């Protein structure tokens, strides 16, 4: 027997129904979880290929951006220090948003530029006014592109990690249901059924036995009656009358006594 | 200001300045040639560049640098070498050469002052900024910077003592320093500087005036054109823009007033078509060669011409500018090599 890994429960019919419904629940849960896992895995693979593409793109973009910086330095001289000292707050920001995929909350990053709205113009836009301004602007655009691709990559990578985690847990649950919960319930059900069957058999056997005894008793009585009749037939051969004269009544005994008294 | 009399002509120039002119011509002979650049382009790593540079006049200037060489280190060391040469001459020069050489440094001083103002405006530690200043633009009152905590103090204690004081006093009020955009401040100061320098060269007369006026006029026009083009789409108004144009140059006054009214680059090109030199420069641009590159090339041409005559101070100015272009070239080649972009390596401007 297989280790008997089953739920300890008293084997009654109600227990059987409960277990059956539990099994049904487990089966439904299993198929739902499997679907979820499959959907997430598809999304996961898609993200993986996008990450690959994106990383290559980002490599190229960053390379161009550094090169454009070199060109800007060539044309405008050493602008780095003035630019550093002139910065006050960030002009380019990143906002965290939430995306829902098959019940999983994935964080995504979005670029959030707040320049034009509050009338806060970029104080750095005049850098290189007299020399190299165009190269500086080009460099700025390249770096903005680089940042955008970095933000996208960051979203993809967080999604990747979160999805990975979730897929792992879901798969664990699927496997748990498939290899632990269902077998246990099935074992329990088969145990209960076995117990019930055994009880049924015992009942049946008992009934049969009782029946047999009854039959035997009946048979025995018949036999006794038949025997008695035979005996009667031997003692009173003439009497063909079937008088059950065995037992005289007191009245008849009284009559015999009367004969003795009155003679 | 000193030096209102012109310097000597053929007969008397060498008495005071002959030694220095000879020195500068010696330095000029060490400027990298096409052959040197051809060698440098073929390097695959910065260490190779170091080797090749060691065979030129640069010598072992990179000898003591730790092993992974950076382009910034190369740039610093080249600049250091140039500064040493300049300071060597400046320390021995007499009037009026000394004033002329000082004028050359005022441009860098303006950059440094702008950096200091920016730093003070944003409450940064000003003494740290001293390291970031251009070495050719050091001025004496830099030592007192640690006592400065606001722009007003900066203005009153430090800036007034610099040679830039007249420019600052004429153009900027103390209150304006806070509000004006830092680039506008820089360009206003530079305009005043250029005008002053131009007038000084005129006073000096002779060969200096001949050479320097061409160079400075080109510089003024170039700045006007650049300011115009770069201010499209920014918050700089047309009136403000016009205030930044220097009041001399080929384009002044008609060209500049037309430029002040333009809105896009095609109009600018149309205006410049009337001036032969600039028409040629603009037609020289292409996808590979930007307007800045064309300007640099023309500047190199003008500066080379300074060495064709004698008995003028133009050679000193031109030498500095040519060396700067050389440093730019070297850094460009170094960047292309280190970033593996050798296809673009030929975009520098060879000098000799």
State whether B226 and A130 contact (CB < 8 Å).
yes
Q: What is d(CA A171, CA A161) in angstroms, rounded to the nearest whole number? A: 15
Structure confidence at residue B286 (pLDDT): 80
Distances (CA, A) of A64 to A2, A61, A111, A146, A215: 66, 5, 21, 9, 106
Q: What is d(CA A215, CA A206) in angstroms, rounded to the nearest whole number? A: 14
Contacts of A138 in chain B (CB under 8 A): none
Dihedral over Cα of A140, A146, A150, A151: its sign: positive
CB of B114 less than 8 A from some CB of A: yes
Are B99 and B2 within 8 A, CB to CB?
yes
Q: What is d(CA B18, CA B24) in angstroms, rounded to the nearest whole number? A: 10
Q: What is the mean pLDDT of chain B?
A: 87
**Token digits of residue A185:** 């319930």
The nearest alpha carbon in chain B to A88 belongs to: B122
Interface probe, candidates B70, B83, B185, B226, chain A, greatest A C-beta count within 10 A: B226
Radius of gyration of chain B (CA): 21
Q: What is d(CA B156, CA A183) in angstroms, rounded to the nearest whole number? A: 89
Contacts of B244 in chain A (CB under 8 A): 129-130
CB of B109 less than 8 A from some CB of A: no
Residue B283: in which H helix or E strand, if any?
helix B276-284
Chain A: closest CA distance from residue B232 (Å): 10
Chain B: closest CA distance from residue A163 (Å): 36
State whether B115 and A85 contact (CB < 8 Å).
yes
Structure confidence at residue A29 (pLDDT): 95
Are A40 and A104 within 8 A, CB to CB?
yes
Interface probe, candidates A59, A84, A85, A122, chain B, greatest B C-beta count within 10 A: A85
Chain A: closest CA distance from residue B70 (Å): 13
Contacts of B114 in chain A (CB under 8 A): 82
What's the pLDDT band for B181 if we cut at 50, 70, 90? Answer: confident
Partners of A105 in the β-ladder = A100
More confident residue, B305 or B175: B305
Longest CA–CA span in chain A (Å) reads 177
Q: What is d(CA A97, CA A108) in angstroms, rounded to the nearest whole number? A: 5
**Token digits of residue B263:** 């809105």
Structure confidence at residue A41 (pLDDT): 94
Among B27, B32, B135, B130, residue whose Cα is nearest residue B80: B135
Are B25 and B315 within 8 A, CB to CB?
yes
Residue B258, burial from CB neighbour count under 10 angstroms (0-12, 13-18, 19+): middle
What's the pLDDT band for B213 if we cut at 50, 70, 90? Answer: very high
State whether B114 and A82 contact (CB < 8 Å).
yes
Average pLDDT over residues B13-22: 89
**Token digits of residue A7:** 């739920």
Are A39 and A144 within 8 A, CB to CB?
no
Interior angle at CA B25, CA B20 and CA B31, nearest 5: 130
State whether A75 and B292 contact (CB < 8 Å).
yes
Q: What is d(CA B111, CA A231) in angstroms, rounded to the nearest whole number? A: 150
Among B185, B128, B121, residue whose Cα is nearest residue B153: B121
CB of B291 less than 8 A from some CB of A: yes
Chain B: closest CA distance from residue A148 (Å): 22
The nearest alpha carbon in chain B to A133 belongs to: B230
Q: Above 50 in pLDDT, residue B291?
A: yes
Q: Is the peptide bond before B231 cis (omega within 30 degrees of 0)?
A: no
Q: Residue holding tokens 């800036």?
A: B159
Are B294 and B281 within 8 A, CB to CB?
yes
Structure confidence at residue A175 (pLDDT): 96
Per-residue pLDDT of chain A (263 residues), as tens digits, is 445 688 888 999 999 999 999 999 999 999 999 999 999 999 999 999 999 999 999 999 999 999 999 999 998 888 888 888 888 777 888 899 998 888 888 899 998 876 554 444 566 778 888 888 888 989 999 999 999 999 999 999 999 999 999 999 999 999 999 999 999 999 999 999 999 999 999 999 999 999 999 999 999 999 999 999 999 888 876 655 555 555 556 666 555 556 555 55
3-state helix, strand, coil in chain B (%, to 5): 70, 0, 30
Q: What is d(CA B337, CA B41) in angstroms, rounded to the nearest whole number? A: 8
The nearest alpha carbon in chain B to A74 belongs to: B328
- pLDDT, tens digit, for every residue of B214-236? 999 999 999 999 999 888 888 88
Are A32 and B308 within 8 A, CB to CB?
no
Where are the alpha helices (H) located in chain A, listed in sequence order?
13-76, 80-86, 133-176, 182-235, 250-261
State whether B226 and A133 contact (CB < 8 Å).
yes
Among B307, B315, B293, B285, residue whose Cα is nearest residue B352: B307
Dihedral over Cα of B227, B232, B238, B240: its sign: negative
Are B49 and B40 within 8 A, CB to CB?
yes
């Amino acid at each position: 027997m297989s280790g008997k890994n089953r739920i300890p429960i008293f084997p009654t019919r109600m227990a059987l129904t409960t277990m059956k419904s539990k099994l049904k629940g487990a089966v439904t849960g299993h198929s739902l979880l499997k679907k979820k896992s499959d959907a997430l895995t598809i999304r996961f693979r898609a993200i993986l290929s996008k990450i690959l593409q994106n990383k290559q793109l980002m490599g190229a973009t960053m390379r161009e951006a550094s090169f454009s910086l070199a060109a800007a330095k060539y044309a405008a001289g050493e602008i780095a220090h003035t630019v550093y000292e002139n910065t006050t707050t960030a002009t380019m920001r990143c906002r965290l948003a939430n995306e829902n995929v098959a019940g999983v909350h994935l964080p995504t990053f979005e670029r959030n530029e707040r320049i034009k709205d509050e009338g806060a113009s970029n104080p750095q836009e005049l850098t290189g006014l007299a020399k190299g301004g165009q190269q500086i602007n080009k460099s700025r655009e390249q770096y903005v592109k680089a940042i955008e691709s970095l933000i996208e990559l960051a979203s993809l990578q967080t999604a990747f990690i979160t999805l990975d985690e979730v897929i792992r847990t879901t798969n664990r649950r699927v496997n748990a249901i498939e290899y632990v919960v269902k077998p246990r319930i099935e074992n329990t059900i088969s145990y209960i059924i076995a117990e019930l069957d055994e009880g049924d058999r015992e009942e049946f056997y008992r009934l049969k036995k009782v029946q047999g005894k009854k039959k035997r008793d009946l048979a025995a009585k018949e036999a006794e009656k038949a025997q008695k009749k035979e005996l009667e037939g031997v003692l009173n051969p003439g009497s063909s009358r079937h008088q059950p004269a065995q037992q005289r009544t007191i009245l008849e005994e009284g009559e015999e006594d009367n004969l003795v008294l009155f003679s | 200001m000193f030096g209102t009399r012109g310097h000597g002509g053929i007969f008397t120039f060498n008495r005071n300045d002959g030694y220095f002119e000879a020195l500068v011509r010696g330095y000029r002979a060490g400027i990298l040639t096409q052959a040197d650049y051809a060698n440098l382009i073929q390097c695959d790593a910065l260490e190779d560049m170091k080797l090749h540079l060691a065979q030129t006049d640069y010598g072992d200037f990179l000898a003591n640098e730790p092993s992974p060489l950076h382009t910034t280190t190369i740039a610093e060391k080249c600049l250091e070498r140039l500064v040493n040469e300049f300071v060597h001459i400046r320390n021995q020069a007499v009037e009026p050469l000394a004033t002329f050489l000082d004028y050359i440094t005022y441009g860098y001083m303006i950059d440094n002052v702008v950096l200091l103002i920016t730093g003070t405006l944003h409450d940064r530690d000003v003494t740290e900024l001293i390291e970031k200043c251009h070495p050719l633009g050091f001025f004496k009152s830099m030592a007192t910077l640690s006592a400065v905590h606001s722009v007003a103090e900066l203005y009153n204690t430090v800036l007034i003592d610099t040679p830039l004081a007249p420019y600052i006093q004429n153009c900027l009020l103390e209150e304006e320093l806070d509000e004006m955009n830092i680039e506008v401040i820089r360009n206003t100061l530079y305009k005043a500087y250029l005008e002053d320098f131009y007038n000084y060269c005129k006073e000096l007369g002779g060969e200096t005036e001949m050479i320097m006026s061409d160079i400075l006029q080109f510089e003024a026009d170039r700045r006007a054109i650049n300011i115009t083009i770069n201010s499209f789409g920014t918050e700089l108004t047309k009136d403000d823009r016009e205030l930044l144009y220097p009041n001399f140059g080929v384009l002044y006054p008609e060209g500049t007033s037309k430029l002040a009214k333009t809105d896009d680059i095609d109009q600018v090109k149309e205006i410049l078509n009337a001036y032969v030199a600039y028409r040629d420069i603009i037609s020289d641009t292409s996808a590979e060669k930007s307007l800045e590159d064309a300007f640099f090339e023309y500047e190199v041409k003008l500066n080379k011409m300074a060495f064709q005559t004698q008995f003028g101070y133009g050679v000193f100015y031109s030498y500095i500018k040519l060396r700067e272009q050389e440093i730019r070239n070297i850094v460009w080649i170094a960047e292309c090599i280190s970033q593996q972009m050798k296809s673009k390596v030929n975009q520098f401007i060879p000098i000799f």
